[in-house]
Amino acid sequence: MPLDTATIAPKARQEYLRIGKQFGSTDTLNQANKTLEALLKYAPALKNHGFNAADVARLSDGRDALIAAGIGRAGVAGQRKLTNRGFIAALKEGKGARETAHSILYAGRSDLEEKGDEVTANAIAVALDQTRATQDDAEKLAVQLDTLRDVLKGQAVAAVVEDRGGPDAVTRLGKAADALRAAAKEREGQSTVAATEQLDLIDGIIVTLARSARKAARAAARETQHPALAAAFELTHLYGTRGERAQAAEEPPSAPG
């Protein structure tokens, strides 16, 4: 049956849109097909681990909605959202730059506390707290990088992190923030909001369901000691192979309910 998106609550809709904007519809279609193929064999094993028949049907409906919109068909223009590998790469680099900055600032804070500079140490603590949550929104992540860069450039902090990678981190944070903003701007120019919002919504639903199926598969695989079960649900079309992605950075803080 057709995918019904009209009844989705506003908060959940915004979360699906946020997730969907990160992925090209061709990739989400391929992932939906892969996950559905795995479900033909393993759906019964996932039922008691959180992924039931209704989820399977919803994923199938989402896949069909993309096909109906022309995704996967050569020559279709206008309503087709293009894959933007540069956007995903910019997000990955931004998160990596943030992680490095955090590590450097943690070390610097300890040094400052030993020296009795509580004011500067507290300023670092505030910045770390403000930037601790994973952001998959390009502008929000760029703002986090700006915050960390400003702290690292402060005179007292710069002095204690100079030989801990501080100068390189400042440069990397600046470049990563610029790349995030440029990639986001490029994606916005690919097509109109009217042409992409519905696809973003469907993509977000599919990605959320594929992640949920993978979680259930991993739980089932651990219980049954059947690694092939988990492997069948890997998100290779969204994130590449295991060796190409940082799995810990992939999940959002929560999924819409």
**Which pLDDT score is estimated for 73?**
64
Query: In this predicted structure, what is the pLDDT of residue 198?
Result: 85
pLDDT at 88: 80
Q: Which residues contact 6 (CB under 8 A, 6 or more apart)?
A: none
pLDDT value of position 44: 95
**Per-residue tokens: 231:** 């492997």
Work out the end-to-end distance of the chain between its first and last CA atoms, rounded to an integer number of angstroms. Answer: 21
Cα gap 14→117, rounded to integer Å = 43
* pLDDT at residue number 187: 65
Residue 104: CB partners within 8 Å, gap ≥ 6?
152, 161, 164, 165, 166, 169
Place of tokens 């590449």: 240
Question: CA-based angle 242:183:190, to the nearest 5?
Answer: 105
Q: How far apart are CA 187 and CA 21, in angstroms?
A: 9
Is 236 within 8 Å of 214 (Cβ atoms)? Answer: no
The C-alpha atoms of residue 226 and residue 122 are separated, in whole angstroms, by: 48
The answer to whether 152 and 124 are in contact (CB under 8 A) is no
- Whole-number pLDDT of residue 104: 96
3-state secondary structure the chain: CCCCCCCCCHHHHHHHHHHHCCCCHHHHHHHHHHHHHHHHHHHHHHHHHCCCHHHHHHHHHHHHHHHHCCCCCCCCCCCCCCCCHHHHHHHHHHHHHHHHHHHHHHHHHHHHHHCCCHHHHHHHHHHHHHCCCCCCCHHHHHHHHHHHHHHHHCHHHHHHHHHHCHHHHHHHHHHHHHHHHHHHHHHHCCCCHHHHHHHHHHHHHHHHHHHHHHHHHHHHHHHHCCHHHHHCCCCHHHHCCHHHCCHHHCCCCCCCC
Six token digits for residue 150: 């400003």
DSSP per-residue string spanning 144-179: HHHHHHHHHHSHHHHHHHGGGTHHHHHHHHHHHHHH
Q: Mean pLDDT for each consecutive 10-residue tract of the chain (257 residues)? A: 86 93 89 97 95 96 88 50 67 93 95 92 93 80 94 94 94 94 72 68 96 97 94 91 45 42
Q: Could you report the per-residue pLDDT of 14-43, keeping only the tens digit for each?
A: 999 999 988 888 899 999 999 999 999 999
